[in-house]
Structure 1
Amino acid sequence: MPHDHAHSDAGPGRLSPKEARRITGQATAFSVSVATILVVTKLAAWWLSGSVAILASLADSALDLAASLITFFAIRFAAEPADREHRFGHGKAEAFASFLQALFVALSAGLLLREAWQHYVEPREITNGGWAIAVMVLSMVLTAGLIWFQTRAVSKTGSVAVSGDRAHYTADLASNVAVIAGVAAAAFLAVPLADPIVGAVVALWLFWSAWQVARGALDQMLDRELPDGERDKIIAIAEDDERVIDVHQVRTRAAGPLIHIQMHMDLDPKLTLEAAHEIVVAAENRLLSHYPAADIIIHPDPHGKAEPHGLAFMQSGGDPEAVKDA
């Protein structure tokens, strides 16, 4: 049952671990550099202006720097090959780093809400508003460049850690617009309450961003299946051999730059063990040509003669048809 497959570089598993590490390493190094510049410049802007909106953005950038440093090291650890203590590799280090990012952002949002409330109750004058706005414009330019670079890295590697880092800076880009509006209204239009209100809006945005990042990280940590379209593609590639009768009990999961694929494959029961092995190896090679960073296990079954077995059979309550459709 032959199939046509369009090759794509997007998503986890499609690049070799070495190439994925190179791309994600560049993205995280760039992230750390940008975050460091933003922290220094926003610290100066806050010192000059006293703006809570600037302080909100500064706190966000400081936590972004901490999260980016964690990601910087996690990416490198996740790309390390499997060893005696970690037979399935170290890919989940990316998901762990991404989850820590979400916690950092949520903490930042809580602190910013408190600060915004204090400034709302006791409005404070904004000084040096022009300098503060100039710093925020610089922040937007640097952040936009970083997001572009990270988007390219995610499209090629599917890295959940870089994706989480990008979520921070995407939120920053939008919040910076709000911060500029708040500082301008407080400094030039004599509307001091605009500053803490904008700070609170930024904090709520950060809470939402943290939830999105945490959800993606938990999907990997809890071994969520790959998207249906990706599963269908994997099955089609495995079945792209007229000697393969059927593929079932397909299980997939992502772990950083790696993906893990398991399946049962129905073959002619009259085949020799050597012939069956040849078909299985050919299927593995087809999958590896599309997913170079995949760990693949294929269990051959004699079609029509295989006794129902495995965890899926036990969980189905002994229903062979349920196992077949799994």
Structure 2
Amino acid sequence: MPFWKTSPKRRDDTEIAIDSSSAGRNHLARYACLSITAALITMALKTWAWWLTGSVGLLSDAMESLVNLVAALMALIMLLVAARPPDDQHHYGHGKAEYFSSGLEGALIIVAAAGIAVTAWDRWQHPRPLQALDVGLAWSALAALVNLGVALILLRVGKRYGSISLEADAKHLLTDVWTSAGVLAALGAVLYTGRLWLDPVIAGLVALNIVWSGLQLIYRSASGLLDATLPAEENRRIDAVIARYRERGVVFHDLRTRQSGMQRFMTVHVLVPGAMSVQQGHDLVETIEAEIRQTVPGIQIISHLEPLEDPASFVHGRPEHAVDVGRLTLEQAPKPDTRADDFIR
């Protein structure tokens, strides 16, 4: 019996995977507020440590906390914008607003790095003795512990809800923790060896590390704004579902996925025998979509049902000679010379 004459299990509301990101995105703002509070506390602690010691290394650490504060404020604003539902002007919602937050944070990180480098160069040329290093290091260590705790919380929540703003904030804070650790180690060496040149050197290394972190954030934001595909693992899960139905004779082409902040989107063309009824085709597509949503919760899927025997299924508004099968899987594009006739044979 042809596969379409069997009765696929109809999808009902209990089978739809719940999109936890939709349920939780309005609560993400409180985590951005946590980041703001942490930034205020650590900035105060590090500034006090710099004031006590006069260390340019500790000053660089304090400047990065100022960047953390500005970035956390921007993340809060963008999370509130991204949580807005679709409207008449934004039919797909406002999820991409988060990428602006992440991109701005990357740019601010690079600006902070430039300021640190200038200060470190000046201190290299004009060294000066440091004071109360033991007390200053203690305050700076306390600030690093605050950042570490908040970063781990934000990273967990950001990955859970797919929030690039919170993930970017968390990774920035973790970078700050490693920066603080390097500064503390270098200044500890200054304290016990008296080698003042270590202070501007560690500040310069901090600047380079910050630049790299900022460039990574800018790249990820640009990729999101350009509709980058879903993470490789999620694409593999979708391909696995598609492969199971291919074994049953269902044909797929023109697969595409993209990510917009916490939202995930997919389009796919499903080709079935022309003898299949509209109801049978609809039930089949509903079943396939339900399985995909179970593997990638919350994904929004647009499916296009087409007759397998009709060559027009591969044209889609292009000139007749420009037949294009599109992507057959999400992991690998088809060869340029792939023809529709070969594809459906």
**Match for residue 220 of structure 2?**
216
Secondary structure of 1:310's partner?
coil
**Count, aligned residues:** 312
The answer to whether the Cα contact below 8 Å between 1:160 and 1:256 also exists between their aligned partners in 2 is: yes
Match of 2:279 among 274, 290, 297: 274
The answer to whether the Cα contact below 8 Å between 1:52 and 1:195 also exists between their aligned partners in 2 is: yes
Match of 2:204 among 175, 194, 200: 200
Higher RCO (Cα < 8 Å, 6 or more apart): 1
Partner deviation per Cα, 1:135-167 (whole Å, 9 max, x = no partner): 121022112211221221133123221121122
- Find the aligned partners of 2:244 and 2:19 in 1 and give their Cα distance: 18
- Find the aligned partners of 1:63 and 1:244 in 2 and give their Cα distance: 55
| 1:36-51 → structure 2 map (5 Å cutoff) | 36-51=40-55
- Find the aligned partners of 1:323 and 1:317 in 2 and give their Cα distance: 18
Of residues 96-105 and 300-309 in structure 1, the stretch that sits farther from structure 2 once superposed is 300-309
- Find the aligned partners of 1:172 and 1:28 in 2 and give their Cα distance: 17
The answer to whether the Cα contact below 8 Å between 2:98 and 2:261 also exists between their aligned partners in 1 is: yes
- Find the aligned partners of 1:139 and 1:195 in 2 and give their Cα distance: 19
- Find the aligned partners of 1:306 and 1:259 in 2 and give their Cα distance: 30
Q: Residue 254 of structure 1 aligns to which amino acid in structure 2? A: Q
Provide TM-score, normalisation by structure 2. Answer: 0.83
- Find the aligned partners of 2:325 and 2:233 in 1 and give their Cα distance: 23
Q: 1:195 to 1:259 in 2, by over 3 A?
A: same
Q: CA deviation at 1:14?
A: 5.6
Secondary structure of 1:127's partner?
coil
**Match for residue 247 of structure 1?**
252
Match of 1:92 among 92, 96, 104: 96
Secondary structure of 2:228's partner?
coil
**Match for residue 5 of structure 1?**
none
The answer to whether the Cα contact below 8 Å between 1:94 and 1:256 also exists between their aligned partners in 2 is: yes
Higher Rg of the two aligned structures: 2
Q: 1:229 to 1:184 in 2, by over 3 A?
A: closer
**Match for residue 173 of structure 1?**
177
**Match for residue 298 of structure 2?**
293
The answer to whether the Cα contact below 8 Å between 2:116 and 2:203 also exists between their aligned partners in 1 is: yes
- RMSD, matched Cα: 2.4
- Find the aligned partners of 2:294 and 2:85 in 1 and give their Cα distance: 19
Query: Percent of counterpart pairs with the same letter?
Result: 25
Q: CA deviation at 1:235?
A: 3.4
Q: Residue 109 of structure 1 aligns to which amino acid in structure 2? A: A
Partner deviation per Cα, 1:223-244 (whole Å, 9 max, x = no partner): 1112333223123335655876
Q: 1:157 to 1:190 in 2, by over 3 A?
A: same
**Match for residue 113 of structure 1?**
117
- Gap regions ≥5 residues in structure 1: 2-12
Q: Residue 263 of structure 2 aligns to which amino acid in structure 1? A: L
Q: CA deviation at 1:20?
A: 3.8
Matching of residue 264 in structure 1 with residue 299 in structure 2 = no
- Find the aligned partners of 1:184 and 1:232 in 2 and give their Cα distance: 48
The answer to whether the Cα contact below 8 Å between 1:18 and 1:79 also exists between their aligned partners in 2 is: no
Q: CA deviation at 1:289?
A: 3.7
Match of 2:106 among 102, 105, 122: 102
| 1:143-158 → structure 2 map (5 Å cutoff) | 143-158=147-162
Q: CA deviation at 1:75?
A: 1.5
Q: CA deviation at 1:76?
A: 2.2
**Match for residue 6 of structure 1?**
none
The answer to whether the Cα contact below 8 Å between 2:187 and 2:198 also exists between their aligned partners in 1 is: yes
The answer to whether the Cα contact below 8 Å between 1:27 and 1:150 also exists between their aligned partners in 2 is: yes
Matching of residue 28 in structure 1 with residue 32 in structure 2 = yes
Q: CA deviation at 1:193?
A: 1.0
The answer to whether the Cα contact below 8 Å between 1:226 and 1:252 also exists between their aligned partners in 2 is: yes
